[in-house]
Amino acid sequence: MKAEYLLLNLLILAGPLVMSFEKQIHFVDKWRYAWPAIAIVAVPYIIWDALVTGTHWWFNEKYTLDFRLAHLPLEEWLFFFTVPFAALFIWEVIGFYVPPPGRRLRVMRRIRYALYSLQLFGLVFFAKGKEYTGLMLIFLGAALIIDRVLKTNLLLRPRFWIYLAVLVGFILIFNGYLTARPVVLYGEAYQLGWRIGTIPLEDFGYGISLIFLATIFYEKFKAVSERL
């Protein structure tokens, strides 16, 4: 069915959109932080996506609408808004039910510096032709640096690791569907070729970096608003 990817986007959006009006969490009050954060992060990912579609990956015309903008189907554009929106809703739900601890994860302060080297590894992989692997590591490393520079320090919060575990679960479900169907097909030459089920390992880093960055800007906008 050609609307299949579109329906998946709507399914991802529907629950968080409706539950945004739930009285306790009332995520609708935080849309003014969520949508700008999502839009800012969407820009580099859409550019990345548009540049590599047709080489690193492409979209199965059986499951996508015929409309294309910058080589991308409408559904792929929606992906960069529906998925982070759903993720930010989950972030708020976790924050509501998991009270903040008295201390941050000190061990991650040291590990974080080692993780900055992901960008160096990304450049090496990119130079060796594993361009998807390389770009994924570069973007993931950039997210870690931005988290430090903007002083959001999500990496040091226990809440973030619960969030990450939930996100990995959803990646297994939704990305697993997209790759098993397959809605998205891949140029194997540009990645390591390692998969979890039908999902390329790089897809996990891609999705996590996208959501990580959206959450960083979301938290920064909230913090700035609270100081005003």
Torsion sign, CA atoms 10, 12, 14, 20: negative
Residue 52: other Cβ atoms inside 10 A: 17
**Number of residues that this document lists for the chain:** 228
**Contact (Cβ atoms closer than 8 angstroms) between residue 132 and residue 141:** no
Residues 6+ apart with CB under 8 A from 87: 167, 211, 214, 215
Beta partners for residue 59, in sequence order: 184
**Contact (Cβ atoms closer than 8 angstroms) between residue 157 and residue 105:** yes
More confident of the two residues 170 and 106: 170
User: Which amino acid type is present at position 196?
Assistant: I
For residue range 150-159, what is the model confidence (pLDDT) as tens digits? 999 999 988 9
For residue range 11-30, what is the model confidence (pLDDT) as tens digits? 999 999 999 999 888 999 99
* pTM attached to this predicted model: 0.94
Looking at 54-68, 109-123, 139-153, which range is the least confident one? 109-123
- C-alpha gyration radius of the chain: 18
Beta partners for residue 53, in sequence order: 57
* Phi-psi domain of 199 (left: phi exceeds 0; alpha: psi -120 through 50; beta: other): beta
Give the per-residue pLDDT at 128. 96
Q: Where are the domains of the chain?
A: 4-227
For residue range 70-90, what is the model confidence (pLDDT) as tens digits? 999 999 999 999 999 999 999
**75/61 Cα distance (integer angstroms):** 12
Decide: helix, strand or coil at residue 79.
helix
Please, how many CA atoms are within 13 Å of residue 67, restricted to the half-sphere of its CB? Answer: 8
Q: What is the mean pLDDT of residues 146-174?
A: 94
**What tokens were used for 34?**
């969520």
Give the per-residue pLDDT at 108. 76
Please, how many CA atoms are within 13 Å of residue 105, restricted to the half-sphere of its CB? Answer: 15
pLDDT greater than 70 at residue 103: no
C-alpha dist (Å) from residue 60 to 54, 72, 73, 180: 11, 11, 10, 12
**20/33 Cα distance (integer angstroms):** 13
pLDDT greater than 90 at residue 1: no
**How confident is the prediction for the chain on average, in pLDDT?**
93
For residue range 104-116, what is the model confidence (pLDDT) as tens digits? 667 777 788 888 8
Decide: helix, strand or coil at residue 199.
strand
